[in-house]
Amino acid sequence: MLYLYLGFLIGQSFPVLKTLYNAGLPPLAVAFSIAVFLIWTLVPTLGYLAARLTGAKPQYKGATLFVLGLIVCMFEKLLFHFDILKPSDGFLPFIITAITFFIIAYIPSNRFLPFHANIN
């Protein structure tokens, strides 16, 4: 789950760090904002943890989870970009992202592997 969180965190961090850099906040306010950001990005990945607690088997390696975290982050950003989600929607983006992570935990990893023919 750590790699999934890190992928999601990296995808979310660029606009947040840009905003913090341009805001001209005092250092303590920046540290508090970063701490809140780290916790706030952890919340959607708890959907993956909930799936693991309900019986999903770990099927992906670290790099795959990292990339899946980035993909889900970009999916969420696309929903905002095309005005499907709005900042005024409250917790709906978190719920959609958590459900996506929950579903990812149950998708079998062999479904994404390319077909390998046995050549003898």
- Domain residue ranges in the chain: 2-110
Instruction: Flag whether pLDDT at 77 surpasses 80.
Output: yes
Instruction: Flag whether pLDDT at 117 surpasses 80.
Output: no
Q: What pLDDT is attached to residue 25?
A: 87
Q: What pLDDT is attached to residue 120?
A: 44
Helix, strand and coil in the chain, % to nearest 5: 75, 0, 25
Confidence of residue 112 (pLDDT cuts 50, 70, 90): low
Q: What pLDDT is attached to residue 100?
A: 94
Rounded mean pLDDT of 77-89?
A: 90
Instruction: Flag whether pLDDT at 1 surpasses 90.
Output: no
Count of CB atoms within 10 A of residue 65's CB? Answer: 24
Q: Which residues contact 82 (CB under 8 A, 6 or more apart)?
A: none
The predicted model scores a pTM of 0.81
**pLDDT, tens digit, 9 for 90 and up, residues 33-70:** 999 999 999 999 999 999 999 988 888 888 989 999 99
Q: What pLDDT is attached to residue 15?
A: 86
